[in-house]
Structure formats: C-alpha cells, structure tokens
Structure 1
Amino acid sequence: MTEPATAQRSAQAPTTTGPPVTGSTKWLILGILAFAGFWVTYAVFVWTSRGHYIENAALRGADQVDAALVVEADSALNAITETSLAIVSFLVVAMALLRRRVDLAIAASAIIVGSSLITQVLKRFVLPRPELIEVTGPYTINSFPSGHTTIAMSVLFALLIVVPFKWRGVAMFFGAFFAVAIGAHTLTSKWHRFSDTLGADLVAFGIACLVTIALVQRGSLVRVTAGRYPLRVLFVVAPLALSTVVSLGLGMLLLLLSELPTAPDEVLDYNMYLALHGLAAGASGLTALAFWWSWRRIDVGSPASPAS
C-alpha cells in the first residue's frame, strides 16, 4: 500500500518546471534594440551641439545639489571598486556552482566581465567626446559609457539568472534599486552624464541578451509552470515600474518645457539636472524591468533535467 500511495502523491504533485525554452527571438530583438539604442545615444548626445548644451547645463545644475546628497552619491560610487567587483562576482559565480551549474557560472561571468571590458575599451579607446561648444567649467572629463553603471547593471542581470526562480524577487529588490541609484548618482556626483548612464545600461542589457541566447541554444533554460509570487509583484515590480514611469515622465516633461541652455543660467541649469537625473534613473529602471520581463517564468533546468 505504501508504494502505490507514494506514486499517487507524486503524480498529483505540481510540476515546477515545464518544457525547455527553444526560441531566442525575443532576446535577439531586445539585443538588437539595445545596441542600436547605444549608437543612437552616442550620436544624439555626444556628437551634437544640442546634446552638449543640455548635458553641460545638467552638470552645472548639479553644482546646486545639497552637499549631503553629493556626499551620499560619492560614497555609493566609491564603494564600487575592483575589490568589491571581484567579491560580488565571486559570490554570484558561487551561487551558480551551488546549483551545480557550471554553464550558469560561465554565463554570469560573461555578463559581468564582458560588459565591463567592452565598456572600458569603448570609453578609453574607441568613443571620444569631442568639444563641439565652448565649455565654461570642468565639464569635459566625463567618458562614454559609464563604467560604474555598467558594473551595477551587469551584476543585477547576472544575479537574476543565477538565483532560483522563487528567490528572484529578492534579488530584484536589492539589485535593481541599487543599480537605479548608481545611475542617478553618477549625475549628482558629476562623474558622468545622462548619455553615459544610458549607454552603460544598453551595453549591459545587450550582453545579457546575447548570453541568454547562448543559454537557450545550449538547452539550459526551462519554463516555470507552477508557483505564484504575488508579493514580488506588489513590493518589487510595481514600485519599480511606478518609479520608472514617474522618473521618465517628469524628466521628459522638464526637458521638453525648458529652453535650450546655451549659456550658464541657474534656473535652466538646475532644470536640466532634474530632467536628466530623472531620465537616468528611469532609463536604468526600464532596463532592469525589460530584462526581468524577458526572463518571466523562466529558470535554468535542474542538473538531472534533460534540458541541461
């Protein structure tokens, strides 16, 4: 009686994972859009006088930010070092290995290391920022794209694919809000411009999409068919989506309603700072949500699964 009863309970138990993910078209389209958006960002903000006027004004506007906020932003950015990146990368890879998934460890490493290497090569050797207008103040040292934002976003994406599906909401809560804050802090501290942050978001997003395609081609991903987690929607996705919409909306509104700041002006400069600060936070939030959506109800298969 024991064996039939056990078999019956096993048959009635819900299946947590379903068939393997076989199509990668979604990530291919997202990756193409990310890399296209990267070059459009560079062309519009770095190679046009209008882009320089707007972003230079935002940096001048950052001079008016409360000193305590600047200290907070500087502290957050200074926390991202080679040592802290190595520690975080080790922990992410360790999570993958604890799941007995070497392919997942390689994928996470590829996202973090690949994104950072590409960003460093682009900002140092490939993509200069020309001086198209006369600049008043030390506002020509920023590099495109932002290394700090790239690290924050790539770690988030690596974490989202490494953490088991049932814990992904926790990873999103800590990782996404940190990445969004880093993107906005770069403007407050004047370490980078909005275009640098947006470019970094798109580099990390594009690499994460390519890595996901590789996982699909390998047969590593499966669809999750059971388990509902409404709290992650209520306390993570919804707040992030709401803050993203508000940030993007207010940023675009300020940008469209303000005059083009062709000369230093305290009001216009601060308006530009507020506008681009909001757009930077919103762009990072939108990027995080897009990758979250692309992995909706998808996880890596167990080591014993045929999909792996």
Structure 2
Amino acid sequence: MESQHSSTTTARAARAPLVFVLAAAVCAAALGWTYWAFVQTTTGQFADESAWQEAGVAAPDTQLPFLRFLDTLPTISVVIAAAAILFVAVRRHRYGAAAIAVAVIVASNLTTQLLKNVVFDRPDRGVATLDFNSLPSGHTTLAASAAAAVFIIMTPRWRPFAAAVGGAYSVLAGVATYINLWHRPADVVAALLVVGIWTLIGGLIIMRTGNRWNDWQGFGTGWASSRGWLGLCWALGPGSLVLSAVLYFSVQAIGPAPVPGTATLPLFFWWGLAWIVGVGFTLSAAAGWLFADQARRTSARAVVP
C-alpha cells in the first residue's frame, strides 16, 4: 500500500506546474507585446490597418462564404464544445474535467471582453482607422476556446488529432473574421493568445487531477494518436511565422504605401494571413507537445517501483 501511495504521489509531481506557468507567462507577454506593437505604435497601427484594408482587395470573392461561416460560428462552437463536455461528463464520469473545460471557455471569453472594452484603448496615432479598440477578437476567442476545451478533456491518445483539428478550426475562424473585414490581424492573434493562456492554466489543473485517465500509452500508428498531427502543426506554425516576418520586413524595406490599403502588391495582407496561421498552429503544436511530454513523464515515473 505504501508503495502504491508513493508511486501515485511521484506520478503527480512529474506533471511540472512550472512548465505550464512559464508557458502561460510567455503567452501573456506575447499578448502584451501584440497590443503595444500594433495598437500603441504608429508603425504597428499602419501595418495592421493596411493588412485589413488590403484584405478587401486581395480576397473579395472569398468574403461571402466566410461570412456565412461566421454567422454560424457561435452555434458551431457551442455545439462542438457541449457535445464533447457532455460526453466526458456522462459517459466517462469525468465531471471535474468537464467543469474545467467549461471554465476555460468562460474565462477566455470574459478576458477578451474585459481587455477589449475596459483595459485596452486605441490611441490616435494619425493613422486613418476606426477610432475604437477591437483587440482581441471575440469571434476568434469563442471558436478557439471551444477547440481548447475539447483538446484538454481528451485522453493523451486523442490529443495529437485534437490539437491539429482544433488549431485548424481556430485559424479558420480567425482568417474568416480577417477576410470579412471584421478584425485586423493583431485582433485575431491576441484572441489566440488569450485562449492559449487559459488552456495552459486549465490544462495544468486537469493534468494534476486526472491521473486515472491521463494515462500515457505512447504515440501510435493509428490515425488519432499519430505524432504526425503534431508534426503537421510544427511545419505549418513556425514556417508561417517565418514567412510572416519575411513579408513584414520586406514591406518595411521597400517602403509601405503612403495611405493604408493603396499598395500595388497586398504584402501586408499576406503578412497578416501568415501571422494568424503561424500563431494558431504554433500554439497547437506547443500545447500538443507539452501535454504529451508531461503525460509521458508521469507514466514513466509511475512504473518505477
């Protein structure tokens, strides 16, 4: 009995809370930098506004389908999250995990509304733009938090697949708000980072309390547990971030148009698109790797006599 108690205690301790806390702090710092760089500075406001203006020129034919998707996004997100949460609560009897998943959704969306409407403001930097703050994006937060809730309540076997599909769904929602001229790129990125913070906090609690079902059985060859899903996220995420950096600094080197949205080549639009894709899939890849690594370390400790 004493050996079993010692094994369980060691297994929980292997889920290092500091790693989750540090990762959440990195997301918070990135969120603060995004707000400062693209809302508080003239250069950032100009780039963000230019990307938004160019979206209407670069992708006019895609706006109607994406608009239809946005109209149904709240319903789709709620249905997906509710179905997954009800399944683990009713069928798997993981009531604590279900409650944490709901808390992640609520906390993410409340944080976005507080930041957008109370904490953050948009100063006048001489850039012709909307005179109110729209960062972070509420629609993107709703979609990404629903995907995050599904991800954290999955067993380790299903998390690689959930990370890739959830990341794709979040990115699609963010791109839709961008192309339909509802939000600038920085608004979408900020929303993804808000959800990233609460995913890590909720995930830490789940990993510390879900010993019974957070049982690592290794990456498999099956379609759900394949590490290929995380490899796909790693390829799309950092690769797109590098592309976005190249595009951004290329525009600055060439010299941006004197008025937002009047450039011959819509490089700011493509920069914003690559930035959203890069952040979304990088967060998915990092979360998938972190959760898998912590579950694997726990199981390794648990078998030590």
Q: TM-score range by the shorter chain?
A: 0.7 to 0.9
User: Which stretch has the larger CA shift, 254-263 or 109-118?
Assistant: 254-263
**1:248–1:278 contact (8 Å) kept in structure 2:** yes
**2:256–2:263 contact (8 Å) kept in structure 1:** no
Q: Name the structure 1 match of 2:4.
A: none
Give 5+ residue unaligned stretches, structure 2. 1-9
Q: CA deviation at 1:264?
A: 4.0
**2:120–2:133 contact (8 Å) kept in structure 1:** no
Q: Name the structure 1 match of 2:37.
A: 44
User: Which stretch has the larger CA shift, 221-230 or 272-281?
Assistant: 221-230
Q: Name the structure 2 match of 1:7.
A: none
Q: CA deviation at 1:44?
A: 1.0
State percent identity of aligned pairs: 22
Give 5+ residue unaligned stretches, structure 1. 1-17
**2:35–2:190 contact (8 Å) kept in structure 1:** yes
**2:20–2:204 contact (8 Å) kept in structure 1:** yes
User: Is 1:291 the counterpart of 2:282 in the alignment?
Assistant: no
Q: CA deviation at 1:23?
A: 2.1
User: Which stretch has the larger CA shift, 96-105 or 72-81?
Assistant: 72-81
**1:53–1:260 contact (8 Å) kept in structure 2:** no
C-alpha RMSD of the superposition? 2.7
**2:25–2:197 contact (8 Å) kept in structure 1:** yes
User: Is 1:95 the counterpart of 2:87 in the alignment?
Assistant: yes
Write the mapping of 1:1-308 to structure 2, written as runs, cut at 5 A.
19-20=11-12, 21-81=14-74, 83-97=75-89, 98-135=91-128, 139-140=130-131, 143-218=134-209, 220=211, 224-230=215-221, 231=223, 232-233=225-226, 235-258=228-251, 259-264=255-260, 266-267=262-263, 270-296=266-292
Q: CA deviation at 1:117?
A: 1.2
User: Which stretch has the larger CA shift, 149-158 or 101-110?
Assistant: 149-158
Give the count of matched residue pairs.
282
SS across alignment from 1:63: helix
User: Which stretch has the larger CA shift, 257-266 or 90-99?
Assistant: 257-266
What CA distance in whole angstroms lies between the structure 2 residues aligned with 1:219 and 1:246?
34
Q: Identify if the C-alpha distance between structure 1 residues 221 and 125 changes in structure 2 by more than 3 Å, giving closer, same or farther.
A: farther
**2:139–2:173 contact (8 Å) kept in structure 1:** yes
What CA distance in whole angstroms lies between the structure 1 residues aligned with 2:234 and 2:210?
31
Which has the larger share of helix?
2
Q: Identify if the C-alpha distance between structure 1 residues 190 and 80 changes in structure 2 by more than 3 Å, giving closer, same or farther.
A: same
User: TM-score by structure 2 length?
Assistant: 0.82
Q: CA deviation at 1:66?
A: 3.4
What CA distance in whole angstroms lies between the structure 2 residues aligned with 1:53 and 1:132?
9
Give the letter aligned to residue 110 of structure 1: A
Q: CA deviation at 1:233?
A: 4.3
